[in-house]
């Protein structure tokens, strides 16, 4: 009994000593990243020397080789490529749209557009049926045959987290073309999924319903979207010419790039951290998801530089084909299940390289309650909350197949959708300190998971 009483008395002192040790090590990681970090330089190379990395493109292949060589140079214990087949969609030239007439009067006003990813090309000219949402489309379905449907569904500005607005509006990009084709539309335009004030159109994945014609579909920049909406409301007859060249080639061979630091106690148990190496073709893919890639690699470099030896094997994964197929993440989980691997935890960064605010977790309420005190250790570096629900497209299959606990870095995302999937997603729009802080917090979380578990 006396030993139990002494242990109880000593518990707060032991916990305080652990906190001091953990705090000191995370600070060591932070200092190393802030002084010697290579994330910003690596992002510059990835965006400026390689550029946009559409799945199936030569740029993606170059990025794979660069990722492999860079992680080897950083001192990874092993680096290997994991093959997967990827869809190979190409834009097929410059997408164009022009207002050709208003109420029978000839016009020649160009509209800034980008074809939606995975859409099929075509050239159509017809009157526009402008609708606010799917409900209005349903009410006006008898007007749609032979027309171009324009969906003006925009971001809800009352959502303080823009990601929620993106999810709501994303239905129109993903399924709008087939919804319109069901009633005989020959083309679709959508309002870009952004609240930006510029006129850059934003692309992104759409999925056809094979039961209906695969009509050409494109997104409008917001200034042109406002013009078209206003003109359609004021005038009964607005005609637009739309030309896109999207098409598919046979599936291409792609690869996940996987670096490892072997665990000292449980080398056969895995903790995964990653981002996706592919991007859309129209920009440099800086925030989406170049920042997640270089943060992943920076954690590897910092762990090696500070002499950290994890108990479990940590995998640093540059995933293939997140944007228009998620084949990389699916393959990673498929292989893990086939090999009977034990995956303890997976973390992803795919929200841009902005200031970190927290982590979202798919771990269960009991586990989340257990680890919430860790926020005190990360608070000096910007993270102040752990919330329920989080992960990422690339690591979600691990949870579905192996029930692996997941987490996703949550950043201040107010500016993310200004550049997301658009031509202005470039290196110049990434801040070095914000980028580094994201890597520091991710590294700190991985260190704590490895040491204490979930």
Looking at the fold, whether 255 and 172 belong to one and the same domain comes out as no
Looking at the fold, whether 365 and 336 belong to one and the same domain comes out as yes
pLDDT of residue 177: 98
Quick check: helix, strand or coil at residue 247? strand
pLDDT of residue 21: 95
Q: Distance between CA 379 and CA 394 in Å, rounded? A: 27
Looking at the fold, whether 116 and 154 belong to one and the same domain comes out as yes
Looking at the fold, whether 350 and 430 belong to one and the same domain comes out as yes
pLDDT tens digits along 385-441 = 999 999 999 999 999 999 999 999 999 999 999 999 999 999 999 999 999 999 999
Average pLDDT, the chain: 96
Residue 334 CB contacts under 8 Å (≥ 6 apart), including other chains: 397, 401
pLDDT tens digits along 212-264 = 999 999 999 999 999 999 999 998 799 999 999 999 999 999 999 999 999 99
Indicate the residue among 247, 267, 297 that finishes a domain. Answer: 247
CATH number for position 230: 3.50.30.30
Number of separate domains in the chain: 2
Looking at the fold, whether 315 and 402 belong to one and the same domain comes out as yes
Q: Respond yes or no: is residue 322 known to be catalytic.
A: yes
pLDDT of residue 10: 45
Looking at the fold, whether 238 and 256 belong to one and the same domain comes out as no
Question: Which among 284, 322, 323, 396 is annotated as catalytic?
Answer: 322
Q: Which domain holds residue 195?
A: 95-247
pLDDT tens digits along 67-85 = 999 999 999 999 999 999 9
In the chain, count H helices and then E strands: 13, 16
Helix (H), strand (E) at residue 398: helix 396-402
326 pLDDT higher than 60: yes
57 pLDDT higher than 70: yes
Q: Distance between CA 433 and CA 419 in Å, rounded? A: 19
Looking at the fold, whether 157 and 265 belong to one and the same domain comes out as no
Place of tokens 């989406």: 288
């Amino acid at each position: 009994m006396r030993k139990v009483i002494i242990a109880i008395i000593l518990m707060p002192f032991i916990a305080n000593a652990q906190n001091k040790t953990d705090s000191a090590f995370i600070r060591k990681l932070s200092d190393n990243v802030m002084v010697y970090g290579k994330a910003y330089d690596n992002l510059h190379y990835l965006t400026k020397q390689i550029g946009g990395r559409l799945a199936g493109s030569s740029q993606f292949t170059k990025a794979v080789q660069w990722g492999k060589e860079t992680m080897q140079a950083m001192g990874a214990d092993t680096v290997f490529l994991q093959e997967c087949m990827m869809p190979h969609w190409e834009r097929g030239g410059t997408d164009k749209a022009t207002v050709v007439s208003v109420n029978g009067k000839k016009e020649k006003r160009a509209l800034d557009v980008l074809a939606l990813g995975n859409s099929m090309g075509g050239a159509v000219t017809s009157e526009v049926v402008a609708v606010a949402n799917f409900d209005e489309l349903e009410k006006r379905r008898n007007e749609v045959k032979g027309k171009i449907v324009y969906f003006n569904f925009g971001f809800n500005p009352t959502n303080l987290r823009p990601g929620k607005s993106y999810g709501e509006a994303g239905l129109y990009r993903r399924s709008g073309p087939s919804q319109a084709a069901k009633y005989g539309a020959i083309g679709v335009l959508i309002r870009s999924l952004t609240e930006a004030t510029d006129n850059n159109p934003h692309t992104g994945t759409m999925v056809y319903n094979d039961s209906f014609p695969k009509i050409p579909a494109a997104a409008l920049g917001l200034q042109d979207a406002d013009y078209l909406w206003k003109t359609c409301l004021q005038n009964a007859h607005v005609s637009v010419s739309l030309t896109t060249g999207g098409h598919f080639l046979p599936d291409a061979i792609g690869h996940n790039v996987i670096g490892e630091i072997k665990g000292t106690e449980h080398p056969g148990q895995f903790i995964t951290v990653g981002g996706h190496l592919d991007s859309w073709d129209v920009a440099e893919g800086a925030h989406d998801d170049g920042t997640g890639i270089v943060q992943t690699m920076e954690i590897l470099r910092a762990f090696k530089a500070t002499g950290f030896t994890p108990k479990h094997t940590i995998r640093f994964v540059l995933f293939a084909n997140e944007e228009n197929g998620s084949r990389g993440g699916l393959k990673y989980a498929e292989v893990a299940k086939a090999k009977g691997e034990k995956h303890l935890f997976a973390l992803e960064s795919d929200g841009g390289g902005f200031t970190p605010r927290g982590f979202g977790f798919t771990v269960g309420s009991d586990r989340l309650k257990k680890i919430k005190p860790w926020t005190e250790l990360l608070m000096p570096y910007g993270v102040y909350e752990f919330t329920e629900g989080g992960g990422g497209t690339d690591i979600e299959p691990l949870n579905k197949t192996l029930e692996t606990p997941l987490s996703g870095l949550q950043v201040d995302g107010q500016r993310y959708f200004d550049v997301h999937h658009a031509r202005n997603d470039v290196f110049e729009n990434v801040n070095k300190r914000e980028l580094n802080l994201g890597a520091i917090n991710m590294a700190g979380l991985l260190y704590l998971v490895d040491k204490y578990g979930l």
